[in-house]
Homo-oligomer: A and B are copies of this chain.
Amino acid sequence: MTIKSLSLKRKKTAPHGLSEPTDLSAYRRIVVLTEGHTNPQKAKTAIGLLRFRGGDVVALLDSQTTHQSAAVALAHDVDVPIVTSLADVSQPDALFVGISPAGGRLPPAMQGAIYQAAQQGLDVVSGLHDFLVDDPALVDIASRTGARLIDVRRNGFRETAKHASFREGCLRVLTVGHDCSVGKMFAALEVERELLRRGADAKFLATGQTGIMIAGNGVPIDCVVSDFINGAVENWTLANQQHDYLLIEGQGSVTHPAYSAVTVGLLHGCAPDGLIFCYEAGRTTTKGLDHVPLKPLTDLRNLYEALAQARNECEVIGVAINGRRLGPDEAAQEQQRVSAELGLPACDVYRDGPGVLANAVVALREQVVD
């Protein structure tokens, strides 16, 4: 079944209008484009899609890699084949651009595959700052074939925040961290899954391109006009407050030289009751900015809590350790060390599962709501 047979297929958006609200969760045979970028450092979106929508991904597309398996190329435990041409995939229903580089530019090497997909009438989904709909030649192709060009980051949020009150029974937990790419989306999704497994009414709120591609919708927070960033998050949170637990995907870091604005807008927009602090053990300098040392965890925790409390009673309730640089014994030591240092429950979600953090979230709910 291709996507064309689903109700998701709607009237094409005018190239210069804003996209209609889009639910990306209906695609079932996704090809993920990682052309020239099929490695664990660059294919962050592809890895997220494999982990959390592995059943909907049928292949990675990369004509330049020597690998034939995503598991090998990305050191990942979910596997799909890597194909060198779209023609090698049977009945795909969308092409998702599988990278999320800083600055959000579309690598020129990816253009050919995107054009080819649109020529076949295949929907193309991209989370880059370079919008598909800003390429007139591509728009022209899509208008002839009926392919939809979906720019996940494109948005029309234009409301300022109003310091709204949220439903009392809606507990909001945001993941924050000491840097980019330490596992904030991962921790939020895993805690959501664990709470759902326990029968709770939990929802993950996506705020970044990969999270939106996984959840199907969300706020592309880093592409909102800055006057409306707090408001976009506030309104999205209000729109989901019927749930008992919101697990909100964090972004950046409050001290990140480039992304602190995004981080703070998100923090004040969703007015969390609790924070899960995420960090990568052994990382000492800022991702992509090696001349910028990371701050001590305690300083960061204090800064997050002071900022959050300007809006709502809030504290850090647990720590998600990213232990990918550590061996098993080191990871166990790190867990004990950081838990003692911060006086908080801590776990490596990838190794240990999210149970400890889900417990902390449930305990917070008992304290705040019940």
Contact = CB atoms under 8 A, between A and B. Distances in A.
A344 interface: no
Interface string A228-258: 0111001000000000000000000011011
B230 A226 contact: no
Contacts of A223: 225-227
Copies in the complex: 2
A332 to B, nearest CB: 31
A227 B303 contact: no
A158 B101 CA distance: 13
A258 B161 contact: yes
A103 interface: yes
Interface stretch (A36-44, A195-203, A262-270): A262-270
B162 A310 contact: no
A230 B292 CA distance: 15
A158 B265 contact: no
Contact of A261 (B158, B226, B289): B226
A310 B255 contact: yes
Main SS of chain A's interface residues?
mixed
Given A160-B103, A265-B261, A222 B231 contact: no
A217 to B, nearest CB: 19
A28 interface: no
A311 to B, nearest CB: 6
A215 to B, nearest CB: 20
A32 to B, nearest CB: 23
A224 interface: yes
Contacts of A109: none
Closest 10 interchain pairs by CB? A261-B265, A163-B257, A255-B310, A222-B227, A161-B258, A160-B258, A264-B264, A229-B261, A226-B226, A261-B261
Contacts of A159: 103
A306 B302 CA distance: 10
A306 to B, nearest CB: 6
14 contacts: A103-B160, A104-B227, A160-B258, A160-B259, A223-B225, A223-B226, A225-B225, A226-B226, A226-B229, A227-B258, A227-B259, A254-B264, A260-B268, A261-B261
Interface residues of A, number: 46
Given A225-B225, A226-B261, 6 more contacts: A104-B227, A161-B257, A162-B289, A230-B257, A261-B264, A295-B310
Contacts of A229: 226, 261-262
A144 interface: no
A255 B16 CA distance: 35
A125 interface: no
A102 interface: yes
A51 interface: no
Interface string A282-323: 000010010110010000001100110011000000000000
A306 B286 CA distance: 19
Contacts of A289: 162-163
Contacts of A258: 160-163, 227, 230-231
